Amino acid sequence: MNTEVFFRKLAGIRSHVGYLPTIGIQAVYRGAVAGLWLALAMMASGLVFSHEATAQDTSWQDQPQPKRRARPAAQAYPDEQLPDRTVAMNDDTVLSTAPLAPDNVDSPSNESPKRKKAKPAGDVGDADGGEARPTRSVPPLPRHPAPVEENMAEAEAPFASPQEGCQENDFGYTGPPLRGILANRLWFRGEALLWWLKGGETPPLLTTSPASTPQAQAGVLDSATTTILFGNDEMNTGLHAGGRMTFGIWLDQCQESGLEFSYFVLGENQQSYSNPSNPVLARPFFNVTTGSEDRVLLAYPGVATGTFSANSTENYQGAEALWRKAIVHGNDGRIDFIAGYRFQRLTDGLTIGDSVTGGTPSATIVNADEFHTRNDFNGGEIGFATQWHRNRWSLDTLLKMGIGQTNTQVFINGWTTTTTANSTPINYSNAGVLALESNSGTHASEQFSVMPEIGLTLGYDLTPRLKASVGYTLLYWTNVARPGDQIDLNVDPRQFAPPTQESRPQFVLHTSDFWAQGVNLGLDYRF
């Protein structure tokens, strides 16, 4: 095959009349060889020119140089402007030479008129063409002078400013496991909570008397022989276990401003009571029709047998969304201003039940009363958080104040079931013993509340980014409704089954203060 045709086909280039005009293979070869020789020639010429230039540059060293007079060691100053000189010796000793008095300066004004000095070469003469002013003598400088700054740097104190650039947090968390804009900006904290809550007050709900007590006086509160078995005390005062999660992000590399979100919940706490064995059991109340203490007799020897039970539940949870702004931020500590939104919810329940069997013909009556409350706090929050850090240890303090509104709901309900021999049970709604037609239902209200909180946490760095902590928290909440406070012992017994509409008991919202305190065990990780 023709070599030129082969290269034309290999290139795949055509014109409108076929293949383009061909270029001979020999011409291409000759052009390549000529270009290679040209490149080598340029490189050789560059080396030659460079060598000649170097030889020319160094040739001046072989030629004799004219002698020059050295300049004076010190610069001449006017008599009225004599500067201070501050130098440092090799042993860091500062030598300061104060300005010399005019009488001690070696200047023409202090010399005898007959004394004249030769004008050194290089000095500048007077403006009127007179003799140049001679240089004044200067004390010899140290062999190796070291400049001393005017303001010596002081050792950094706690809460000093962070290093310039803010490339990493100097609180013991170093290294960049996250890259980009998220490096040293995220943190997460998980805590186990062991808290105690203020229990809810309850009135006397179950009484007993000796078996020899007359039936008319058995279980009555104003009787000298009556003993309160349940009530007249706080419920749910035990330990509550739960957890809290906190997530935060800094909005800038220097960690001056950030956002924080947290949520906590305590597991439901229950307290139960039952007393089926006493020979005398009664549920006390104040009879508004007779104006005296009274009771519903549950058990009495030879008359009736009965049981009593009560169950109390409690739940507590909350959430926060906060903005943090550093007021003071240094290598050993910081103080942050905190502002944001806070939500808290406390739910309580109290259920009271009894069963009585007796009478002629024999019948069984089962009563139940339910009192439930829910309190929701919504409000703003401001405060301060501080942190002090030393080596691996850290100490955090927290002071916050929430101001807002508590929305309260109270639910009251009661019922009675009566069963006789060979008969169908009869149910009565809104007809318990303390939850009757006059006070049953759902009642809502709103109250102004404040919620201060203080905290103290001690931390230890397990790794540069993982910290273990133990702390204490105290939280206070005003105007909270609890179930036991909503019980009215003033009862009109005509509302007992079958129910009738009477005025007592009645619902009147009663609130009290609530607190929560306990220990926090946590792990804190900085990304």
Tell me the per-residue pLDDT of 107-140, one tens digit each, with 9 for 90 and over: 444 554 455 555 554 444 444 445 555 545 555 5
Report how far residue 234's alpha carbon sits from residue 131's, in angstroms, rounded to the nearest whole number. Answer: 108
- Highest mean pLDDT range out of 64-68, 84-88, 416-420, 453-457? 453-457
Report how far residue 218's alpha carbon sits from residue 208's, in angstroms, rounded to the nearest whole number. Answer: 7
Report how far residue 321's alpha carbon sits from residue 319's, in angstroms, rounded to the nearest whole number. Answer: 7
Segment 79-91 mean pLDDT: 47
Domains present along the chain, CATH in parentheses: 189-526 (2.40.128)
Q: Which residue from 240, 205, 231, 272 is spatially nearest to 514, judged by alpha carbons?
A: 240
Sign, Cα dihedral of 26, 31, 32, 36: positive
Tell me the per-residue pLDDT of 464-480, one tens digit each, with 9 for 90 and over: 889 999 999 999 999 99
Tell me the per-residue pLDDT of 422-443, one tens digit each, with 9 for 90 and over: 778 888 888 899 999 999 999 9
Please list, residue by residue across 282-314, b when 16 or more beta carbons sit within 10 angstroms of its beta carbon and e when fewer do: bbbbbebeeeebbbbbbbbeeebbbbbbbebbb
- Check: CB of residue 195 under 8 Å from CB of residue 266: yes
Q: Residues of the chain with pLDDT > 70: what percent? A: 65
First to last CA, the chain: 71
- Check: CB of residue 525 under 8 Å from CB of residue 188: yes
Report how far residue 223's alpha carbon sits from residue 94's, in angstroms, rounded to the nearest whole number. Answer: 96
As to burial, measured by CB atoms within 10 angstroms (0-12 exposed, 13-18 middle, 19+ buried), residue 184 is: buried
Segment 138-147 mean pLDDT: 51
pLDDT at 349: 96
Q: What's the whole-number average pLDDT of the chain? A: 78
* DSSP-assigned letters across all residues of 136-183: PP-PPPPSS-B---SSPPPPPPTTPPPPTT--S-SSS--S-SS-GGGT
Query: Which range among 139-148, 425-434, 501-510 shows the weakest confidence by mean pLDDT?
Result: 139-148
Of residues 496 and 517, more confidently modeled: 517
Tell me the per-residue pLDDT of 170-220, one tens digit each, with 9 for 90 and over: 444 444 455 556 677 899 999 999 999 999 999 999 999 999 999 999 999
Torsion angle in degrees (nearest 10) through CA of 123, 125, 130, 132: -40
Query: Which range among 64-68, 267-271, 500-504 shows the weakest confidence by mean pLDDT?
Result: 64-68
Beta pairing partners, 408: 375, 445
**DSSP secondary structure code for residue 22 in this structure:** P
* Predicted TM-score (pTM) above 0.75: no
Q: How many CB atoms lie within 10 A of CB 471?
A: 19
Report how far residue 383's alpha carbon sits from residue 341's, in angstroms, rounded to the nearest whole number. Answer: 12
Of residues 276 and 440, more confidently modeled: 440
In this predicted structure, the answer to whether residue 269 has a pLDDT above a threshold of 50 is: yes
- Highest mean pLDDT range out of 26-35, 59-68, 142-151, 334-343? 334-343
pLDDT at 464: 87
Of residues 25 and 474, more confidently modeled: 474
Report how far residue 496's alpha carbon sits from residue 510's, in angstroms, rounded to the nearest whole number. Answer: 25
Name the band, by pLDDT with cuts 50, 70 and 90, for residue 495: confident
Report how far residue 177's alpha carbon sits from residue 183's, in angstroms, rounded to the nearest whole number. Answer: 7
Query: Which range among 101-105, 188-192, 264-268, 358-362 shows the weakest confidence by mean pLDDT?
Result: 101-105
Query: Which range among 8-22, 290-304, 488-502 shows the weakest confidence by mean pLDDT?
Result: 8-22
